[in-house]
Structure 1
Amino acid sequence: MADTKKAEGVQQKKKKGGFRETLLLLALGVAIALVLQQFAVGSFYIPSESMQNTLEINDRVFVNKLAGKPERGDIVVFKGWNGDDTIKRVIGVGGDKVVCCDSKRRITVNGTPLDESSYLYPGDYPSGEEFKVTVPPGKLWLMGDHRSASADSRSHMAEPGKGFISEDAVVGKAVMRYWPLGRGLIFTRPDTFDKVK
């Protein structure tokens, strides 16, 4: 009888220990997820058509917050012109001369024409309005892939910042579209930007 009570007591202690361990692991998992979301990986919801067809309304992307300095061709999330999180493609970085358009209606960066056919919205021009800018050091020139539906750097040229966004305003680089599941995609930089010197 004493042995039975002793065995029951040991079992109850094991149950309590197992429950505490489960709670501890759960709390630890939540803490790690929060730290990762705060400092390493975030999720961003696509609210508009400005990045079609690369990103559709209601798509969701993972953003790498530790990706380092943005490069030409990257899709980045940043604190936009009105302070909201915004997503666009980097066309020019500090020191670049970005011009629209050459004789074939292409945007050029440092004199090199961009072949934007892999991401530009079908039937859209690279830009409906002409511009010629030199990107200041530490700044970015950003444009949506659906140019006729994108309020990007071109739309803010008359403001004090002249349409440029600071590299410090970048939250992170979009690395993958994870929703909807059937349209999952890992993003890569378009090859056309490799030709720019």
Structure 2
Amino acid sequence: MAVGARSGRDEGEERPDDAEREAEDGGAEARPHRSFWKELPLLIGIALLLALLIKTFLVQAFSIPSDSMQNTLQRGDRVLVDKLTPWFGSEPERGEVVVFHDPASWLAGEPTPEPNFAQTILSKIGLMPSADEKDLIKRTIAIGGDTVECKKGGPVVVNGKELDEPYIYPGNTPCDDAPFGPITVPKGKIWVMGDHRQNSQDSRYHMQDSTQGFVPVDKVVGRAVVVAWPITRWATLPIPDTFDQPGIGNQTKATAMGLGAAGLAPVGLGPAALGLAGAVPVVMWRRRGLTSGTTGR
């Protein structure tokens, strides 16, 4: 009888587990749903962090400010530069369009754009390069160990092979304005030229500099792989077939880079947009978790 009496329960009597469950549900229902505006700082913070990582290690956008790479690149084009590949020890290949830091005051005397307030802030947190940084874009013609030359009236010759250069600006000659060579490119250096040959202050014009016109590989920022803007100009930047001749051919087929004679203007929009795109799913996932907690289910 004692056991039977103990197992019985008044209808109004509350079981301990029922009380605990109601307490949990009540606590969940009482948890406030955070508004989008409260989540916005988190979204911005994640976007900035992702943009910083993308800009530092993956890809960066640059604006073309000059005509030295016409017609491959036009003034005002935005190119995306692959910065990841060099981290794995890859070096520029012949035919690639590359962005590189000014190796020996090539841009001396060129005006430096005055950054606005937003650009100054972005450069301080690493989302844009400093206005003091000067970068250029050119096509890699020869790499370490190559012999390159170009006589007046003739083509560019690499390792004894004449280059057919359909990318040269219409009406230009390969090098009549500044013939050179033969020159052997030192290891760890590259020889660069603009596609608009008669409007490009490239390696030919800096042979008396401390670098003798060569660009150290460690000065290369990365490869320009695509024209991203304007949309009507969207295009990839492949390596021309002329660089695949026997005796010249690149060991691996890669995508070309690009720059110009004048300094490049870095653009923060590319990494920032990618960072924002990456941050949105994270915040939405977090908000979904909070919403699930609110319902208690």
Range into which the TM-score falls when normalised by the shorter chain = 0.7 to 0.9
Q: SS at 2:187's partner residue?
A: coil
TM-score after normalising by structure 1: 0.88
Q: Would you say 1:58 and 2:106 are equivalent positions?
A: no
**Structure 2 residue aligned with 1:189:** 239
In the TM superposition, 1:46-85 aligns within 5 A as 46-67=64-85, 68-80=90-102, 81-82=104-105, 84-85=134-135
Structure 1 residues without counterparts, runs of 5 or longer: 1-5
% identity of equivalent residues: 45
Amino acid at match of 2:154: R
In the TM superposition, 1:153-192 aligns within 5 A as 153-192=203-242
Structure 1 residue 182, shift from structure 2 partner = 0.5
TM-score after normalising by structure 2: 0.59
Q: SS at 1:162's partner residue?
A: coil
2:174 pairs, out of 119, 126, 143, with 126
> Computing the radius of gyration over CA atoms, which structure comes out larger, 1 or 2?
2
Amino acid at match of 1:42: Q
Structure 1 residue 10, shift from structure 2 partner = 2.8
Structure 1 residue 105, shift from structure 2 partner = 1.3
Measure the CA separation in 1 of the matches of 2:145 and 2:40.
Answer: 54
Q: Deviations over 1:41-72 (max 9, x none)?
A: 10111111000000011111000012221000
Structure 1 residue 29, shift from structure 2 partner = 2.8
Q: Would you say 1:24 and 2:42 are equivalent positions?
A: yes
Q: SS at 1:16's partner residue?
A: coil
Structure 2 residues without counterparts, runs of 5 or longer: 1-24, 106-132, 250-297
Say how many residue pairs are matched: 190
**Structure 1 residue aligned with 2:186:** 136
Measure the CA separation in 2 of the matches of 1:90 and 1:137.
Answer: 14
Measure the CA separation in 2 of the matches of 1:161 and 1:22.
Answer: 49
In the TM superposition, 1:103-114 aligns within 5 A as 105-114=154-163
Q: Would you say 1:39 and 2:87 are equivalent positions?
A: no
Measure the CA separation in 2 of the matches of 1:168 and 1:109.
Answer: 22
The runs of at least 4 consecutive aligned structure 1 residues that moved more than 4 Å come to 17-23
**Structure 1 residue aligned with 2:165:** 116
Measure the CA separation in 1 of the matches of 2:236 and 2:155.
Answer: 26
Which is richer in strand? Answer: 1
User: RCO greater where, 1 or 2, for CA within 8 Å and sep 6 or more?
Assistant: 2
Q: CA RMSD in A?
A: 2.4
Measure the CA separation in 2 of the matches of 1:184 and 1:126.
Answer: 26
Which is richer in helix? Answer: 2
Measure the CA separation in 1 of the matches of 2:37 and 2:138.
Answer: 47
**Structure 2 residue aligned with 1:3:** none
Q: SS at 1:49's partner residue?
A: coil
Q: Deviations over 1:79-112 (max 9, x none)?
A: 123262000000000010001038x611000000
